[in-house]
Chains A and B, each alone.
Chain A
Amino acid sequence: MDSSQLFTFATIAYLVAMVLYISYLAFRIEGIGKAASFITYAGLAMQTIALGMRWVESYQMGIGRVPLSNLYESLVFFTWSTVLIYVIVEWKYKTRAFGAFVLPVAFLALAFINFAGISTEISPLVPALKSNWLFYHVLISFLGYAAFGVAFAVSMVFLLLDMEDRGPARDLGIGMAVIAVLAPVGYAMAAAGERMKLVFWMGLGVLILAWFLYLVTRGARNKPQVYLFWTFCVTLAIGLMVAMGFDIVYLNLTHSLQPGDSMKQHLFEASFLSKSLINVIIAWGLIAGLFWIVWSKGMSLKRILKQYVPAQDLLDDVTYRMIAIGWPLLTGGIITGAVWANSAWGTYWSWDPKETWSLITWFVYAIYLHSRYVRGWKGTQMAVISAVGFLAVIFTYLGVNLVLSGLHSYGGMN
């Protein structure tokens, strides 16, 4: 048996565990919950062994390096650390309520790798990556990302439980209308050249920032807005994952990935940036549908969740705990990266987009911690900041790799 078979078994285990955790939420049968936990442990154990085997395999191939250096391996490691942290939380807080949220993330990430075939080859490393710091840097950063991921999931549950109702349908209408206006404007401006595209992204950034600031400062008094934000985050998380899955499947079916090409040059080509106008419209239609479903079904989900989560205070505390674990890890990740860069190039900080985005993420969580400690904020506002922090994490991890450095290479819409 080789490592890839074990990875497949682990993926299946997470799929079964995901179904069991969701049925546990729906039927509240203790036995189902126990089975879900057991299968999760088994999947984690298999994945751990598989990671170790892959390490050994790389030595047998004469390359000999830590299995943490391409997109495939980092996704595998990301799921591994997410599940590990989840298992610890489950054991420590004696609640299985989060499993239904964490396991799907782990399963989807692994499923994309296994079924859609991100290159699983153990490829050799360029000289600059041959450093012991690589291992510590990636390990620490990913553990941090995973902790923030759990914090995000728990914040989402918190925000949902915090809502009394979903607010007037008018808010949903306004939200969708804003997107319906912005999306075509974005496409038009992107087509009009690099400069207009930049203006659009900057403008959009300012709008989103203003919204975040409003939510953080006034959100506690405007629950329907927070619910809209919740809908936005959930839709974005699901939509991003599904769209990327489509990309991977599409690129493999059409074999349009040339050797030496990377995913980042083709992000969203199967959906939002497809050459076919129909695909683009379908993609946005699906997103609109998802947005609506999430918005209208949120309250039903809340009723189910309510039975399992004992106290909202606990959720707030778990979020804080996860960030209190994640922030020092992120700090460690940045520091090990800096020390490594200094040993390789003689400069510990060079403001490249990835470094800068990790620093931005660090700032956001620093704001979270200071708001909590010094200003004594709790609850809704904190959950919103935690969500914003995780959006920055996603951008650091995927956006910078897949979008930013390629921002100048998209040939517009033509």
Chain B
Amino acid sequence: MENKDQQGIVEVAADKIWKFFSSVKLAVVLLIILAVVSVIGTVIQQNQAPADYLKEYSQGTIELFETLGFFDLYHTWWFVLILLLFTANLTICTLERFPIAWKVMRAPLKTIDEDGYKAAPFKKELMVKGGMEKTELAALKALQGRRYSHLVSKEQGATHLASQKGAYSRMGVYITHVSIILIFTGALTGAFFGFKGFLNLPEGEASSVVYLRNEPLWDKIMDGFGISKSPVIRDPRGGGVPALPMGFYVKCDDFEVDYYQNAGRPTGMPSEFWSLLSVYDMQQQKILNKRIRVNDPLSHHGITFYQSSYGTIPNSTGRILLNVKLKNDPGPGEMVVVDPGSSVYVPSIDRTIKALGIGPFGMRDPATGKVQFYESRNEELINPAVELEVLRGRTGPPVYRTQVMKVDSADPLMPEQYVIKYVDYWGARYTGLQVTKDPGVWIVYTGFILLCVGPVIAFFGSHRKIWVRIQDRKGQTAVLVGGSSNRNRMAFEREFNSIVEDIAK
């Protein structure tokens, strides 16, 4: 055997490091540190604009916090280091203990001797009437009824029973630990090979790049070492926000918001918003389209587009879409497009429709039929209302004026043999998309599933063993029962006692 002194410094160091990381004390200390440090990031608001911090803290404090990384605490190198230490600790603890647990779990059933019974945490000696055979049957029935697997051996006038159940429960804790390691691995995979970005697409526009919040770490590192060039474009004209080419185009065909209604009139509270997105390849061939909503994204080539926000493009005008239909016509009617302030001739009714103007939030008073316009924050198109003037022929005299809107509490004035309906105000809004690529998410989800299963097995299962020795003692039958459980001793005690009772009957 090798002498300790002859071990190289590397072996000694490795041994020490292994010992250090295999301690549960370290795990508890790291858990405490993680808990305490995490609090800081909840007290100091994270990732705010510099101006917001200036409102709350002095310049000196801001500099100090910036040095410590308190404004983006969970992504600082030292926080990630604590997480890595914790993962190393968890991995080594698991590697250290798993083989033993595996052995215990797989160990074949064995009967025990006198000393074994003495050492058993639960034991009971009793005399029963009815002979050895009958007692053995009673014991087997009691154990089988409680789903114990068993083994019988007979020697020197004694019958030995060994039984156990729930050996698998010894794996629960390892399943739990492995699941946490998987979640960390998945998170790292996402950070290295995935990205988080955003894209604000006006209605009708397309983009082949996405603007990044988090660049893939792998590309960054490879670029840093000069091994491969990062595909990220940094165009100073775009404000220097890193942009990543996706390899395809995504286009916003349409965007719409629905608002909750109160007594038939829209409130300012959105109930749902959605975008119609199309994907085109680089040769401008359409590949697919999908209507995405919050909680229902679109995925293509591993990149997922989430409906996240929306807004009205400042100082822009869209186009008004109207539907004109004869009152006795069962068909879908005719679509008419008109820009605010201009007019369009509709041959089917021989009228010219002029859009005098559009307001973002108009509502009709059902009693008077008058339309009133309300303030809406950032010109949000809560209920666009269009003021129309209808002229005879191409240039003829005005016939009447009316107002149409998205959600109307009454029928608008339509004195002639056709009805004009509001359809859309298109091109003045953009859809805010959250764009992510996360190849690690399936590793994380696997971890999640195991993390749901592991603790349940660990807490609600227990490895229970019961041994029974039946001997003939001067015409009477002496029974010795021993038992042990690695968990839930109180529940086991109840089961043990009821098994003893069943044997004694």
Q: Which residues of A contact B (CB under 8 A)?
A: 124, 126-128, 130-131, 194-195, 198, 201-202, 205, 209, 213, 313-314, 317, 324-325, 327-328, 331-332, 335, 338-339, 342-349, 351, 353, 356-357, 359-360, 363-364, 366-367, 370-371, 373-375, 400, 404, 407-408
CA distance A370 to B176 in the complex (A): 13
| A contact residues around B460 at 8 Å (CB) | 324
Main secondary structure of the interface of B (DSSP, over half): helix
Task: Judge if B378 is at the interface, Cβ distance under 8 Å.
Answer: no
17 example contacts (A-B, Cβ-Cβ < 8 A) are as follows A124-B269, A130-B295, A194-B57, A195-B56, A314-B490, A317-B490, A331-B451, A331-B452, A353-B42, A363-B31, A363-B32, A363-B38, A367-B28, A371-B28, A374-B24, A400-B42, A408-B56
Give chain A residues whose Cβ lies under 8 Å from the Cβ of B36: 209
**Given A202-B43, A346-B434, A357-B42, A339-B31 contact (CB < 8 Å):** no
Contact pick for B44, options A198, A317, A344, CB 8 Å: A198
Q: Roughly how many angstroms separate A184 CA and B391 CA in the complex, as a whole number?
A: 76
Query: Which residues does chain B contribute within 8 Å of A131, judged by CB atoms?
Result: 295
A195 with B58, Cβ < 8 A, contacts A339-B448, A359-B38, A363-B34 known: yes
Decide if A356 touches B41 in the complex (CB within 8 Å): yes
Distance A209 CA – B39 CA, assembled complex (angstroms): 12
Contact between B35 and A344, CB atoms less than 8 A apart: no
On chain B, the number of residues with a Cβ less than 8 Å from chain A's Cβ atoms is 54
Chain B residues near A201 (CB-CB < 8 A): 43
Tell me the bound Cα distance from A338 to B43 in angstroms. Answer: 22
CA–CA, A347 and B304, complex, Å? 11
Judging by beta carbons under 8 Å apart, are B455 and A327 in contact? yes
* Given A363-B35, A375-B24, A328 contacting B43 (CB threshold 8 A): no
Whether B260 sits at the interface, judged by CB under 8 Å, is yes
| Residue B74 lies at the interface, judged by CB distance under 8 Å to chain A | yes
Binary A-proximity of B165-205 (CB < 8 A = 1, otherwise 0): 00000000100000000000001000000001000000000
A130–B260 CA distance with the chains assembled, in angstroms: 13
- Report the Cα distance A371→B27, complex, angstroms: 10
Q: Does B497 contact A (CB under 8 A)?
A: no
Question: Is residue B353 contacting chain A, with contact meaning CB distance below 8 A?
Answer: no
Complex CA–CA separation, A400 to B455 (angstroms): 27
Nearest residue, chain A, Cβ from B48? A408
Q: Which of B10-18, B229-237, B437-445 interfaces with chain A?
A: B437-445
Q: Report the Cα distance A130→B271, complex, angstroms.
A: 9
B63-91 interface code vs A (CB 8 A; 1 in, 0 out): 00000000000100000000000000000
* Chain B residues closer than 8 Å to A128, beta-carbon distance: 294-295
CB nearest neighbor in A for B259: A124
Q: Mark B194-225, 1 if CB is under 8 A from A, else 0.
A: 00100000000000000000000000000000
Chain A residues within an 8 Å CB radius of B436: 346-347
- The smallest C-beta distance from A393 to any residue of chain B, in angstroms, reads 13
Most buried by A among B31, B39, B56, B434: B39
Contact for B445 among A194, A339, A353, CB less than 8 A: A339
A324 CB contacts on chain B under 8 angstroms:
459-460
A-B interface, 7 closest residue pairs, ranked by CB to CB distance from nearest = A346-B436, A324-B459, A353-B42, A127-B294, A328-B455, A363-B35, A374-B24
Bound complex: CA A400 to CA B43 (Å): 10
> Chain A residues with Cβ under 8 A from B269's Cβ?
124, 126
- Which of chain B's residues has its CB closest to A323's CB? B459
Bound-complex Cα distance A289 to B31 (A): 37
Contacts of B39 in A (CB 8 A): 205, 356, 360
Whole-angstrom CA separation of A228 from B175 in the bound complex: 40
The interface residues of chain B lying within 8 Å CB-to-CB of A373 are: 173
Minimum CB–CB distance from B212 to chain A (whole Å) comes to 13
Given contacts A127-B272, A363-B34, contact A195 B43 (CB under 8 A): no
Q: How many angstroms from the CA of A127 to the CA of B310 in the assembled complex?
A: 13
A124 & B58 in contact (Cβ 8 Å cutoff): no
Query: Which listed residue (B31, B58, B273) contacts A367, Cβ 8 A?
Result: B31
Whether B245 is near chain A, meaning CB under 8 Å from some CB there, is no
Complex formed: what's the CA distance from A325 to B459 in Å? 8
B27 closest partner in A (C-beta): A370
CB <8 Å contact, B32 and A328? no
The reply to whether B448 and A335 form a contact with Cβ atoms under 8 Å apart is yes
User: How far is the CB of A166 from the nearest CB of chain B, in Å?
Assistant: 30
Contacts of B43 in A (CB 8 A): 198, 201-202, 404, 407
B46 contacts partner chain A, Cβ-Cβ < 8 Å: yes
From residue A346, how far is it (CB to closest CB) to chain B in Å?
4
- A residues within 8 A CB of B28? 367, 370-371
Q: Which of B32, B293, B444 contacts A348 (CB 8 A)?
A: B444
Q: Are A360 and B295 in contact (CB under 8 A)?
A: no
**Complex interface: chain B residues within 8 A of A359 (CB):** 38
| 5 more A-B residue pairs beyond the given contacts A346-B436, A363-B32, A404-B42, with a C-beta to C-beta distance below 8 A | A194-B56, A331-B455, A347-B436, A366-B31, A367-B32
Residues of chain B with a CB closer than 8 A to A357's CB: 42
CB neighbours of B317 from chain A (8 A): none
B270 within 8 A of A: yes
Interface string of B453-466 (1 = CB under 8 A from A): 00110011000000
Closest residue on chain A to residue B455 by CB atoms: A328
B residues in contact with A327, CB < 8 Å: 455, 459
The answer on a CB contact under 8 Å between A130 and B42 is no
B270-281, CB under 8 A of A: which get 1 and which 0?
A: 111100000000
Residues on A with beta carbons closer than 8 Å to the beta carbon of B459: 324-325, 327-328
Asked if A335 contacts B56 (CB within 8 A), the reply is: no
Residues of chain A contacted by B273 (CB below 8 angstroms): 127
- Do residues B24 and A370 form an inter-chain contact, with CB atoms below 8 A? yes
**Complex: how many Å from CA A332 to CA B449?**
9
- Give the complex CA separation of A94 and B197 in angstroms: 57
Say whether B249 faces chain A, with CB atoms less than 8 Å apart. no
Chain A residue at minimal CB-CB distance from B269: A124
Tell me if B270 and A127 are in contact (CB < 8 A).
yes
Give, as a whole number of angstroms, the nearest-CB distance from B300 to chain A: 13
Residues on B with C-beta less than 8 A from A351 are: 41, 46, 74
Nearest chain A CB to B177 CB, angstrom units: 11
Does A328 contact B452, Cβ atoms closer than 8 Å?
A: yes
Contact A126 to B270, CB < 8 A, known contacts A198-B43, A344-B294, A364-B35:
yes
Cβ of A80 to closest chain B Cβ, rounded Å? 23
Asked if B94 is at the interface of the complex by the 8 Å CB criterion, the answer is no
Q: How far is the CA of A347 from the CA of B41 in the complex (A)?
A: 18
A222 to chain B, nearest CB (A): 20
Chain A contacts for B297, CB-based, 8 A: 343, 346
Q: Choose among A128, A314, A339, A346 the residue with the greatest number of B CB atoms under 10 Å from its CB.
A: A346
